[in-house]
A and B are shown apart, each in its own frame.
Chain A
């Protein structure tokens, strides 16, 4: 009963000093909202990372080339000007050869489900009269479709013979079909398309239409007409058109039951043997799960940093609350004296001011939560992920702001409770 009256009283006195109350709450609002915002963003980022992990496959290991560490170079060739920052790009001759891959597959046949290699031919346009669709032509191996989830809407995947022969066949996106065939998937399948890549024109037969997954492309501002989607062609076709033989990068789909982390190291060691004599490059392998781990640890570092800032804001906010409570108690000295004269025990006075301090902090906390969720949603929207406010952090914030109210309200409230009623009544 008396608690309810105290809450009512606290709201009354806040209403009487709206501006002051708001300024007092500011620290709490900033602290709580930044915690909630970062939690919301972090939550949605973790969710989107694990989403893309699912679509790209957590069991995938990506193998590529990286430049060898510089000090090796300088010991061999002496001091070089412009040394450390110098970058070389890997040429076709540095790439993994077909033999290496075959050898690898044989050695670890039990651990490998498929190998996905791709060859990028660059961006181009499908042209037909005034119609066009932007595409980026990608040569893909059979394993590519195991490593990447691609949903066929109409038609079929490539056949093994087409992979082997380097046939001029293509898989195009439903978005490209919208642009070229007015969305008629059936009409698209089996038709001939002319594709302009660089300064050359190629003719492909469409064998299938896949569903374009917008989320995997991230934030894009282009309209549906101008969006560039992937056009898949058999790997051998792309290799022949590009006049390349080796692979700069490929993805290994591990068999079920294989620990991707462990197999990543095995893979790297296997290929390292081939590159002992290569002056510039060495193989590097990383798995999706290690990427996710890296991402998570980066995110938790950011969260920690913001939490520290938020903690400081909350501390300052709490001191602000304490300060304003002390002011408020001084202002209301006569009221305290009157209440005591009329029989309020010390505990009631203490309770009254602690409740007031809790109410300030709680209102600040609620405003902070609303602001934080809004900020988090806005920021997650900007990053192109869906926001997921964390209920735990909201409950924690509410509890925490109440705790601040108790902690920083106790001293002023106790001071009020211990006032001498005679002195308090005489106070001008």
Chain B
């Protein structure tokens, strides 16, 4: 079977404070391809540039130089409005701090990306219920985020990331705020999504153990990819 790259990054540079004495080069020509259905971990110390890389992959930021294609769409040429649309349809974000909307319940949170995609009310509710059932939150659909535990919140957030059936799931330290047992459950959920639904998942983490569970481990240091190898599997 021929591999189709979902993420194609070529020669990506990112500089901040351009033209000032404080000019800072964070990414120094990153080349990275992620194939469809891959489970990849990007590992690095804080300050290594992995967050900046994630922002670029997640279409929240643009590189200073280089080319980026996501699902064959040229992301450099896309205008801001188009980037919003791409974030909405092709990328599912999972954040370390969950970032659920605190005033609305779980099901409304899951519905939110579909609202921006223009999905009709009944279909939204149907899909949101289906997703919450998949992550095992069917009993707590009408609870507010504050009534949920950290692990439950992250499961709702994963359901939300899946709402518009994105091309990739971009998870930024998804277990960083959780204890190891609940973190384990969240990781299991990612594995399930990867295996059962063939989702492409990019996991950003500083935990070497979690990174080992993935198929491919990419290490970043000082804005360069310094290592790339297969994961050793779960320990």
Contacts and interface: CB of A to CB of B under 8 A. Distances in A.
Given A2-B115, A342-B93, A425-B95, A335 B88 contact: no
Interface string A308-341: 0000000000000000000000000011011111
A348 B116 contact: yes
A346 B88 CA distance: 13
Interface residues of B, number: 29
Contacts of A342: 87-88, 93, 112-113, 116, 160
Interface in B103-145: 103-104, 112-113, 115-118, 120-121
Contacts of A381: none
Nearest to B54: A422
User: A-side binding surface: helix, strand, loop or mixed?
Assistant: helix
Interface stretch (A5-13, A233-241, A390-398): A5-13
Interface stretch (B36-44, B55-63, B198-206, B224-232): B55-63
A345 interface: yes
A338 B112 CA distance: 10
Interface string B80-92: 1100111111000
A344 B116 contact: yes
Contacts of A340: 60, 84, 87
Given A2-B115, A421-B60, A16 B103 contact: yes
B101 interface: yes
Contacts of B58: 341
Contact of A343 (B88, B95, B104, B120): B88
B52 to A, nearest CB: 9
A341 B81 contact: no
A174 B50 CA distance: 98
A334 B60 CA distance: 14
> What does DSSP make chain B's interface, helix, strand, loop or mixed?
helix
A19 interface: no
A243 B104 CA distance: 89
A330 to B, nearest CB: 15
Contact of A341 (B60, B101, B104): B60
B64 interface: no
B60 A339 contact: no
B87 A341 contact: yes
B64 to A, nearest CB: 15
Given A5-B115, A12-B103, A13-B103, A346 B80 contact: yes
Interface string A396-427: 00000000000000000000000001100100
Nearest to B86: A343
B149 interface: no
The 9 closest A-B pairs by CB, nearest first: A343-B88, A338-B99, A345-B84, A343-B87, A342-B113, A12-B103, A343-B116, A344-B116, A421-B60
Interface of B: 55, 58, 60-61, 80-81, 84-89, 93, 95, 99, 101-104, 112-113, 115-118, 120-121, 160, 164
27 contacts: A1-B115, A1-B121, A2-B115, A334-B99, A335-B101, A335-B102, A337-B99, A338-B95, A338-B99, A338-B101, A340-B87, A341-B60, A342-B88, A342-B112, A342-B113, A343-B85, A343-B86, A343-B87, A343-B113, A343-B117, A344-B116, A346-B84, A348-B116, A422-B60, A425-B60, A425-B95, A425-B99
